[in-house]
Structure 1
Amino acid sequence: MQDKRFSRSEFLALSSLLAGSTLFPSRGDAAPDGGVAPVRAAGSTTPARAPAGGVAVPAQPSQAEFEQLRRGCTASLTAGSTADDGAEYVRIGEWMQRQKLSSDVYGNGDFVQAFEKRIADLLGFEDACFMPTGTMGQLIALRIYADSSGVRTVGVHPSSHHVMHEDDSYAVLHQLRAVYLGPWTRPLQAEDVAQAKEAIGTVSLELPVRWLGGQLPTWEQLAALKRTCRERKVKLHMDGARLWESQPFYGRSYADICKGFDSVYVSFYKMVGGIGGAMLVGNRDFIRESRVWRHRHGGNLYQLAPYVASAAMRLDPALAAIPGYVQRAKAVTTLLAADPRVTVLPQPVQTNMFHVFLRGTPGAYSRQRDRIAREDKVWVAGGFGQTRVPGVVSTELQVGEGLGRISDADAARAFLRLLEAS
């Protein structure tokens, strides 16, 4: 039998291919359930698929069957809740009744405005505006800065959400242009801004970088980036979709982390577990203009209170639990990385999310995942993406509420059962 083990140094050498421009996506490129963005065939508008070669391919489960299998598990190594949606909506209503909260009209209401003020204070800013989606909030920030400066270029990491997951909305809706800064293989740094070959009006920094397994710049690197943008009069916006999970790495308050940014967006469904929604924070004039743009985007919903309540009732418990999740992620990844057939990125992990790389094919691992779910009741992965390295796939994992009371050793053991099929 062929030895399928590979060393970390071998993988890291191979993964330098990830920095190649061939990985830059066209519209809508993203792995649906985890892993890296799918590789496209030349001239194709859909992810490339290996030919069947005349061999019968097992039927894929329907979405309903997929969800039933996932929800039947008692523990999960992926993001997302297995809670019944209907029960969650009832819980939100009951929480609002206990708090004696009145609803809002187009965001105007004491409860919504008090929550906006709370998040602004938590992140160290003057004001905040609740947004139905993070995509909307970030587009608004970039548009305001472009109109103010007259410079319509936005510096981004090659894996930025703006270019990977928004159907080119920054260009189509706001006539902005993305400038890739730095290589794929590390977070954006000050030198990338300083060495940019064209004028940049705004830099949008993802903290942490999702497609690098939650990697973060060091505190010194982050300070240097803030300083460089300030000196060059470049607006610095934070894509803080996972900012909450970054705090244990820096060991500083959220306000200290955000200091030096002109604006920040945070999510309330990622990690917090709310039904949706986001917050955009900045100075008062910026937020005043953001509210106008929220209306122009069609995001001024008649009632925002249900979304705000979902975030408000979950926020404190979620933030309190994150340090424990990060510690568990470190323990689980240490166990996984001890197997020479597994590569974890980053190692050691910096947040509670990380990527795992394995030799094999996405289909084989997906079938084994389903088998583990049926037999062990542990959901060990969402999906598996083909990387640019031939024969190597990746999956994205996140330690959170879904891991429940299962031990770290049992979680690692369940995941390593994937290799029984490799």
Structure 2
Amino acid sequence: MKDSRFSRSEFLALSSLLAGSTLFPSKAEAAPDGGVAPVRPARGAVVPTPGTDGGVAGPVSAPASQAEYEQLRRGCTASLVAGSTAEDGAEYVRIGEWMQRQHLSSDVYGNGDFVQAFEKRIADLLGFEDACFMPTGTMAQLIALRIYADAGGPRTVGLHPSSHHVLHEDDSYAVLHQLRAVFLGPWTRPVLAEDVAQARDALGSVSVELPVRWLGGQLQTWEQLAALKRTCRERKVKLHMDGARLWESQPFYGRSYADICKGFDSVYVSFYKRVGAIGGAMLVGGRDFIRESRVWRHRHGGNLYQLAPQVASSAMRLDAALAAIPGLVKRAKALTALLAADPRVTVLPQPVQTNMFHVFLRGSPAAYSRQRDRIAREDRVWVAGGFGQTRVPGVVSTELQVGEGLGRISDADAARAFLRLLEAA
């Protein structure tokens, strides 16, 4: 993080100041380096710790262990946060049964008709020549950036301050591949063409997240995205997409995935996010690029003896997952409208652009965690994974995602359950 104004730990503490929101009187009072404090999702949630700040009507005891926490969460019939696939081996049974019904055989180090057919399907869907299945998105993206750096240009990569490369990979781009980050734009908005044009150093590549998670799923407008692509092309800067949540972006743009990806040199998509697979990712690009990516997958130790289980988990879920997205985004818009109607609640962004968003509340993380557990026991609705303290004293944030876990509960009932959190304020 030598080029950053903040250390990595300070980045992790950043939160958006939401200029012009109900929490703040004017844009002029917002700090220029805002952001969103990373909030632990349910999958990696921290066991709530009882505090002394009160705020909860009546005594409510927090779960005494991680196991009790998980039991409480799984006992809910509806959830406003992203969840993992079914536990206790049920997912693995379904994978095996699905492969048997499809009469599929496994692969050997990724070589097999089934794996290669799925790679071609995703390449076609995103409008690229070829694709390579990867065990993780981190591996996929590091490989893309390394290939671009080795092509002879500057070993610099333009990144948003909240990029996954920056916050969640222990500086692997620098330690493993000797790349140097150049931070583009402020924390408070996605990367734009002007950020590339005005970069303080020559850029070899740019990695752009669509949508930006720590901005509540914000996206560039179609015109802004086109300008970003054009600027990178004119400056001969390779443009890579961190498409971990690309699937959820399609309703906002109203265009095909291939049209959205056109102009990017490479794209990574995730299969455990939104699709709900047990893991896995895909890196897509030109034929020569993917040929070299396979070599780097081997060098990274990612050329697993059998990739078929991860691929099958992805393939058997993909169609239903993509078909559900427009409805989930529609529900997210309705739900956020209900939440934002309460003046004690601030939603980012507003209007919501995907099926995910951030909510800001006044109070303390401990008090809200205890109230969340009380709601789970009484209403059987899991209303939040965790609460992060923002840089604004007395304001916390949480990340919500509308998914199948919301079930058949109405939007009004979901909003009512979430607003019960305010009893802890």
TM-score by length of 2: 0.89
The match for 2:41 is 33
Distance (Å, rounded) in 1 between the aligned partners of 2:284 and 2:140:
9
Distance (Å, rounded) in 2 between the aligned partners of 1:11 and 1:112:
54
Distance (Å, rounded) in 2 between the aligned partners of 1:392 and 1:147:
45
Which of 308, 312, 322 is residue 305 of structure 1 equivalent to?
308
Structure 2 unaligned residues grouped into runs of 5+: 1-19, 43-48, 54-59
The match for 1:43 is none
- Cα gap change, 1:312/1:192 in structure 2, threshold over 3 Å: closer, same or farther? same
The match for 1:211 is 214
Matched length: 395
Distance (Å, rounded) in 2 between the aligned partners of 1:82 and 1:125:
29
What percent identity do the matched residue pairs reach?
84
Distance (Å, rounded) in 1 between the aligned partners of 2:201 and 2:147:
20
Which of 378, 403, 413 is residue 400 of structure 1 equivalent to?
403
Contact 2:24 2:30 in 1 (8 A): no
SS of aligned partner of 2:289? helix
- How far does residue 80 in structure 1 lie from its aligned partner after superposition? 1.4
Do residues 245 (structure 1) and 248 (structure 2) align?
Answer: yes
1:281-309 CA distances to partner (integer Å, 9 max, x unpaired)?
A: 00000000000000000000000000000
The match for 1:235 is 238
Which of 27, 31, 49 is residue 17 of structure 1 equivalent to?
31
Do residues 347 (structure 1) and 350 (structure 2) align?
Answer: yes
Distance (Å, rounded) in 1 between the aligned partners of 2:356 and 2:110:
33
The match for 1:175 is 178
TM-score by length of 1: 0.90
**1:15-414 alignment runs, 5 A limit:** 16-17=30-31, 19=33, 30-33=38-41, 61-81=64-84, 83-414=86-417
The match for 2:423 is 420
1:345-393 CA distances to partner (integer Å, 9 max, x unpaired)?
A: 0000000000000000000000000000011010000000011111100
Give the partner amino acid of 1:32: R
- How far does residue 60 in structure 1 lie from its aligned partner after superposition? 5.8
Distance (Å, rounded) in 2 between the aligned partners of 1:375 and 1:156:
44
Contact 2:85 2:276 in 1 (8 A): no
Give the partner amino acid of 2:189: R
SS of aligned partner of 2:89? helix
The match for 1:42 is none
Distance (Å, rounded) in 1 between the aligned partners of 2:29 and 2:268:
30
Contact 1:274 1:307 in 2 (8 A): yes
- How far does residue 19 in structure 1 lie from its aligned partner after superposition? 1.3
Distance (Å, rounded) in 2 between the aligned partners of 1:12 and 1:78:
31
Distance (Å, rounded) in 2 between the aligned partners of 1:11 and 1:414:
28
Distance (Å, rounded) in 1 between the aligned partners of 2:39 and 2:335:
24
- How far does residue 83 in structure 1 lie from its aligned partner after superposition? 2.5
Contact 1:33 1:384 in 2 (8 A): no
- How far does residue 8 in structure 1 lie from its aligned partner after superposition? 1.7
1:330-352 CA distances to partner (integer Å, 9 max, x unpaired)?
A: 00000000000000000000000
SS of aligned partner of 1:174? coil
- Cα gap change, 1:92/1:17 in structure 2, threshold over 3 Å: closer, same or farther? same
1:120-147 CA distances to partner (integer Å, 9 max, x unpaired)?
A: 0000000000000000000000000000
- Cα gap change, 1:389/1:12 in structure 2, threshold over 3 Å: closer, same or farther? farther
Distance (Å, rounded) in 1 between the aligned partners of 2:314 and 2:88:
15
Distance (Å, rounded) in 2 between the aligned partners of 1:148 and 1:203:
14
SS of aligned partner of 2:361? strand
- How far does residue 58 in structure 1 lie from its aligned partner after superposition? 7.0
SS of aligned partner of 1:185? coil
Distance (Å, rounded) in 1 between the aligned partners of 2:207 and 2:260:
15
Distance (Å, rounded) in 1 between the aligned partners of 2:303 and 2:39:
30
Give the partner amino acid of 1:194: A
Give the partner amino acid of 1:338: A
SS of aligned partner of 1:17? coil
Give the partner amino acid of 2:227: A
Structure 1 unaligned residues grouped into runs of 5+: 1-5, 35-48
- Cα gap change, 1:71/1:59 in structure 2, threshold over 3 Å: closer, same or farther? closer
Give the partner amino acid of 2:105: S
- Cα gap change, 1:125/1:11 in structure 2, threshold over 3 Å: closer, same or farther? farther
- Cα gap change, 1:411/1:52 in structure 2, threshold over 3 Å: closer, same or farther? closer
- Cα gap change, 1:300/1:259 in structure 2, threshold over 3 Å: closer, same or farther? same
